[in-house]
Structure 1
Amino acid sequence: MKKSASRIREDIAKLQDQLKQAETKDAERIGRIALKAGLGEIEVEEADLHAALADLAGRFRKGKALSNGMERAGPGSTSTTEMAPVTSGAAESSAGEA
């Protein structure tokens, strides 16, 4: 049975609401993680931070990132928040605005 145009619009509105809720949940989760990592205390230009995060996302997409950083840290290390230096603008042109 075909759906009427009004029913399809209702379905679209519900899906848009679900998408908004999912994006909000993801943003809150990522924000909490960023604050725990100390990003809230660093003075950095938004474009530079965006580029660094886009680079990080790219590394996870390619499967190069490890589960918790301890494997990279080596023996005797207790820090899981060490990060490699990121050059300004490294991935800015390839990432879209979220």
Structure 2
Amino acid sequence: MKKPSSRIREEIARLQDQLKQAETREAERIGRIALKAGLGEIEIDEAELQAAFEETAKRFRGGKGRAAGKKDTGDGRAASGSSATQSPGTNAGGPGED
């Protein structure tokens, strides 16, 4: 049996509310992390900051929280000899990662 259009609209409204709540939780989480990292104190154009976030997202997509291509050491850390922090202006992707 097909759903009446009013019921579909109610379901869409409910799903849109769930989406809004999920986006709010995600934004608050990312915002807290960004503030802890000191991004709140940096004078940077919003478009430039978004581009940097997009580059960071590319590094972690498919790796379930770890940089793609890194091997798990078994203790929740990615196997690499580098520190997780970087100096301002350094290339986060490293050579050859575009």
**TM > 0.5 fold call:** yes
Distance 1:42 1:68, change over 3 A: farther
Greater strand share, structure number:
2
| Paired residues of 1:34 and 1:40 also in contact (CA < 8 A) | yes
Distance 1:54 1:68, change over 3 A: farther
Using the size of structure 1 for normalisation, the TM-score is: 0.69
| Amino acid of the structure 2 residue aligned with 1:43 | E
Greater helix share, structure number:
1
The aligned residue for residue 41 of structure 1 is: 41
Using the size of structure 2 for normalisation, the TM-score is: 0.69
| Amino acid of the structure 1 residue aligned with 2:25 | K
Unpaired runs of 5+ residues, structure 1, are 74-79, 88-98
Distance 1:19 1:26, change over 3 A: same
What RMSD over aligned residues (CA atoms) do the two structures have, in Å? 2.6
Higher RCO, 1 vs 2 (CA within 8 Å, ≥6 residues apart): 1
Q: Percent identity?
A: 60
- How far off is 1:81 after superposition? 3.2
| Amino acid of the structure 1 residue aligned with 2:16 | Q
Unpaired runs of 5+ residues, structure 2, are 71-75, 93-98
